[in-house]
Chains A and B, each alone.
Chain A
Amino acid sequence: AQSVTQPDIHITVSEGASLELRCNYSYGATPYLFWYVQSPGQGLQLLLKYFSGDTLVQGIKGFEAEFKRSQSSFNLRKPSVHWSDAAEYFCAVALLNFNKFYFGSGTKLNVKP
């Protein structure tokens, strides 16, 4: 079945530590890939996206993500986490041929002082 998998439901990191959130997808072709962030009580905001080209993409708030075709992964990273990064993060894919959009189940990030 086609899917977007975020294997980590919750992650806790200390402020200032590095962060990596995992995302794997299972689709036949390379989809359009996104990371969104949802702060408590808010809608979703786009962090970054990958369509083609350079496999390392930069986003807002100091986030970056790397597309690895061989691993069907699109992991999100940040070198140094800030307390304001505490939120839920969603990986998503768009399938242009089907005009559909799929989200992973999300990873909730807690940041320890």
Chain B
Amino acid sequence: EAQVTQNPRYLITVTGKKLTVTCSQNMNHEYMSWYRQDPGLGLRQIYYSMNVEVTDKGDVPEGYKVSRKEKRNFPLILESPSPNQTSLYFCASSFEVNTEAFFGQGTRLTVV
């Protein structure tokens, strides 16, 4: 089954404790991206990747890192999480930026 898998689904952590949210897709997609969803703001793009070893900033990259060492995986790293990063995060993949994106189920992160 074609899917985008994010883990964990829920995470509560403390300020400053490094964390990684994993994202994996099985559709051989080139383009992958991370979004955060906040009430009234819709989804905002954090980082995206055009292909392996090619990543770039989206609209809200501050406080986040990503890597794309393999085509299927695109982890999101918060080196020092802060409470303003409490949000719902989605990973998505597509063949290209202008083709249908498939979304993961989301990761609800709370930073206290």
Interface residues of A (CB under 8 A from B): 4, 6, 9, 32, 36, 41-46, 49, 51, 90, 94-96, 99-106
Given contacts A94-B98, A99-B56, A101-B101, 11 further A-B contacts (CB under 8 A): A44-B90, A46-B101, A49-B100, A90-B43, A95-B97, A99-B48, A99-B97, A100-B59, A100-B97, A103-B42, A103-B43
Main secondary structure of the interface of B (DSSP, over half): strand
Q: Which interface residue of B4, B42, B104 has the most chain A CB atoms within 10 A?
A: B42
Number of residues on chain B facing chain A (CB within 8 A): 25
Which residue of A is nearest B40, CB measured? A105
B103 contacts partner chain A, Cβ-Cβ < 8 Å: yes
**Interface majority SS (helix, strand, loop, mixed), chain A:** strand
Interface residues of B in 70-112 (CB under 8 A from A): 90, 92, 97-98, 100-101, 103-106
Is residue B52 contacting chain A, with contact meaning CB distance below 8 A? no
| Chain B neighbourhood of A42, CB < 8 A | 105-106
Q: How many A-B residue pairs have CB under 8 A?
A: 57
* Cβ contacts under 8 Å, B92 to chain A: 44
Given contacts A43-B104, A100-B48, contact A105 B97 (CB under 8 A): no
The residues of B that contact A101 with a CB separation of less than 8 Å are 33, 45, 48, 97, 101
In chain B, positions 31-86 with a C-beta closer than 8 Å to chain A are 31, 33, 35, 40-45, 48, 50, 56, 58-59
